[in-house]
Structure 1
């Protein structure tokens, strides 16, 4: 009975920590409560099953903070949502590209709109996105580098160890990074862990990182963190972006453009 009470009390305390801080880490909880990592993982699994939290790499996130859409929308849904905003953002981003640049286009529907808007000039585009490849293929002066790997049909992009390794020898001028979640405290996040891993590698390879996102992504937190907001050099968004977010990003020295 004492063991059961200890377990219940610990889980109650973990729930309170999640509510207070928004997230917890397995290693820190094990040290705080003097239990094994396996015991903490069981606690987090128990709390996840009851909707208290959602699992993330190395810990968990408050279920109430995971945003309006904790489950990744279907590709066709994302392709048509906020389409006018994405087209304006894509056009503004395309205007940043100069002849001779080497750029990376992350996977995503906003990146596809950027590819559609990109003029047929002598640039090199690196991407893992099938839709970006399709949009750029008819433009003969654009040199295309497709990152290989395994096709994830849910968003029609390639991921995996081969995809990450392909970036090892690359150095690019600009990375245009699409996001699933953008939160000032918890950073840039995505639904899919291999995408987060690949995006971090893209960030390492790029001289400048430009986030391209419509305003629906602000305040949304997905399970897998890519980078802190402070690691972004520029942000292109639409007129629905909250003033507080725009001002905070500018205070960080970020070039914020509202399309």
Structure 2
């Protein structure tokens, strides 16, 4: 009986500590592991175990040496859909013009990709393959043929990820693929809040004969906040708007990326 009571007390203490950890992230956005250990008066190892648990429930995203409140960057597509709408539509039009008749097109999740889906859905000569809920909604009344990749619905990005998604992707080769990104690095590729999402983006790129990332210029002003990466193959393309500085995008050209500004 005493042992059971002690276990209940330990569980409650763990729950309270994790709630306090979440409160610190909510206040500050991002906090280092060392600062969390000091604030909570526990070991770094305990903080890392707490972060691993909270990351598994999608309440935080682990970063290099710390964590960030997922609500700061990993927001729903509804929240992001009205931001920089003019530039996103310019990127979508540029991407749509590259799609040849009779193509199979891979469409990732994301608001810019959803703008592209709306344009491509009007064409009867295309097969559109997507894991993005926002794109699926845009394609509900499409004239194009649409293949929806099954799997786990990941919130808040509303993308479909996981083993079933990867199994379906293994059976698809696309002529061209368009991917979204919250942050991108010329060497590491696309920065992702969880490993399942990174795996899907990587396989999409690998199974498309030509891959382009549609990235608004504001994405270059932030440091990659997440701990997972989706590597992009040689010759991957990056298209952004004219708000991106030459210093930022030249690093991608130097690393062998094709870069276009719209």
Question: Would the TM-score normalized by the shorter structure come out above 0.5?
Answer: yes
Shift of residue 41 of structure 1? Answer: 8.3
| Corresponding position: 1:249 with 2:252 | yes
Which residue number corresponds to residue 182 of structure 2? 180
- Deviation string 1:167-213 (CA, Å, 9 cap, x unpaired) is 11211111101001113354321223221111112122111111111
Query: Gaps spanning 5+ residues in structure 1: where?
Result: 1-39
Which residue number corresponds to residue 109 of structure 1? 111
Q: What root-mean-square deviation, in Å, do the aligned CA atoms of Structure 1 and Structure 2 show?
A: 3.1
- Deviation string 1:57-97 (CA, Å, 9 cap, x unpaired) is xxx61459x8x986412332211222111111111111110
CA separation in 1, counterparts of 2:104 and 2:254? 28
Shift of residue 255 of structure 1? Answer: 2.5
Which residue number corresponds to residue 130 of structure 1? 133
Provide TM-score, normalisation by structure 1. Answer: 0.71
Q: Which one is further off, 151-160 or 81-90?
A: 151-160
Among candidates 230, 233, 237, match of residue 226 of structure 1: 230
State the secondary structure of the residue aligned to 1:206: coil
State the secondary structure of the residue aligned to 1:80: coil
CA separation in 2, counterparts of 1:220 and 1:95? 31
Q: In the TM superposition, what are the counterparts of 1:88-99 in structure 2 within 5 Å? A: 88-99=90-101
Among candidates 122, 144, 158, match of residue 156 of structure 1: 158
State the secondary structure of the residue aligned to 2:196: helix
CA separation in 2, counterparts of 1:43 and 1:184? 34
Is the contact between residue 81 and residue 111 of structure 2 (CA under 8 Å) also seen in structure 1? yes
Provide TM-score, normalisation by structure 2. Answer: 0.70
Query: Gaps spanning 5+ residues in structure 2: where?
Result: 1-42, 53-59
Is the contact between residue 210 and residue 232 of structure 1 (CA under 8 Å) also seen in structure 2? no
Aligned length: 211
Which residue number corresponds to residue 61 of structure 1? 64
Which residue number corresponds to residue 208 of structure 1? 210
State the secondary structure of the residue aligned to 1:240: coil
